[in-house]
C-alpha cells in the first residue's frame, strides 16, 4: 500500500482540523469554567442578600408594628429610586465627592476619577 501526495495532504488537513477542534474545545472549557465561577459568586451574593433581608424583616416584624403590606409598599418605593420599576436595584450609590458622578456600590473607588468611596453600607457587595 502506497501513499500518494494527495493522501498525505488529506491526512495533514484532517490532522489540522482535529487540532483546531481541540483548541476550540479548550477555549470553550475555559469559558465554561469561568461561567461556573461567576455563577458561584452570584449565588454567594444572593445568599448574603437573602440573609440580610430576612434578618431585617425579622427585626422589623418583631420589634415594630410593620405589616407585610408596609414592606411591599417600601419595596415599590425603593425599586423606583433608580428611575425604573423593574424589580431590580441598579447599584448606584451616592455621588462621588470629587467629580459628582454616581459611584458604583461594587467598587471602593470612583470609576471616573479614582476618589475613595466614603459611604459604606452592609449592602455594598450585594447591590
Ligand atoms: Zn469621581
Q: How large is the average pLDDT for residues 57-65?
A: 91
Does residue 125 have a pLDDT over 80? no
Cα 74 to ligand 1 centre (Å): 30
Q: What is the DSSP string of 21-43?
A: HHHHHHHHHHHHHHHHHHHHHHH
- Ligand 1 mean position, distance from CA 97 (Å): 7
Report the separation in Å between the CA atom of 116 and the middle of ligand 1, taken as the mean of its atom positions.
8
Domain ranges of the chain: 5-66
Q: Is the predicted pLDDT of residue 83 greater than 90, yes or no? A: no
Mean pLDDT of 97-108: 86
What is the whole-number distance in angstroms between the Cα of residue 50 and the centre of ligand 1? 30
Give the range among 30-39, 59-68, 86-95, 112-121 with minimum mean pLDDT: 86-95
Query: Between 90 and 103, whose confidence is greater?
Result: 103
Instruction: Please check whether residue 127 is in contact with residue 105, taking contact to mean a CB–CB distance below 8 angstroms.
Output: yes
Amino acid at each position: 500500500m502506497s501513499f500518494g501526495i494527495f493522501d498525505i495532504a488529506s491526512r495533514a488537513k484532517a490532522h489540522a482540523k482535529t487540532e483546531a477542534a481541540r483548541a476550540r474545545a479548550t477555549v470553550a472549557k475555559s469559558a465554561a469554567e469561568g461561567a461556573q465561577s461567576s455563577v458561584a459568586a452570584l449565588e454567594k451574593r444572593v445568599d448574603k442578600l437573602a440573609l440580610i433581608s430576612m434578618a431585617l424583616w425579622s427585626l422589623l416584624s418583631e420589634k415594630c408594628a410593620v405589616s407585610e403590606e408596609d414592606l411591599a409598599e417600601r419595596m415599590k418605593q425603593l425599586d423606583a429610586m433608580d428611575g425604573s420599576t423593574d424589580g431590580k436595584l441598579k447599584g448606584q450609590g451616592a455621588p462621588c465627592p470629587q467629580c459628582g458622578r454616581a459611584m458604583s456600590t461594587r467598587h471602593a473607588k470612583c470609576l471616573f476619577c479614582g476618589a475613595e468611596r466614603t459611604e459604606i453600607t452592609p449592602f455594598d457587595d450585594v447591590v
